[in-house]
Amino acid sequence: MSLRQFHILFVAIVTCLFVGLGGWGLMGYHEHQGAALLWLGTGSLATASGVVAYGFWFLRKTRRMGLGE
C-alpha cells in the first residue's frame, strides 16, 4: 500500500468517525437538549465536510503530480 493510498484510507476513516460523532451529538441533543451536544454535533459534521473537501483536493493534487493510479 502506497503512502497515497494510506492517506486516502485515513481521510475516509476520519470522515466516518466525524460523521458518527456528529450524529451521536445531534441525537443526544434531541434527547437531552444540551447546548454542548448541539455544538459537538454541528462542529463534527462541519469538520467532516472539511475533511471531505481536503480529500478531493488531495486527490486532484496528486493526480496533477502524476501520482494517480
**pLDDT at residue 69 above 70?**
no
The pLDDT of residue 25 is 97
The one-letter amino acid at 20: G
**DSSP labels, 15-50:** HHHHHHHHHHHHHHHHHH--HHHHHHHHHHHHHHHH
Rounded to the nearest 10°, the torsion over CA 32, 36, 38, 41 is: -110
- Report domain extents, the chain: 3-63
**pLDDT at residue 67 above 80?**
no
The pLDDT of residue 46 is 98
Q: Which long-range contacts (CB under 8 A, 24 or more apart) does 2-7 make?
A: 4/62, 4/67, 7/58
Rounded mean pLDDT, 7-35: 96
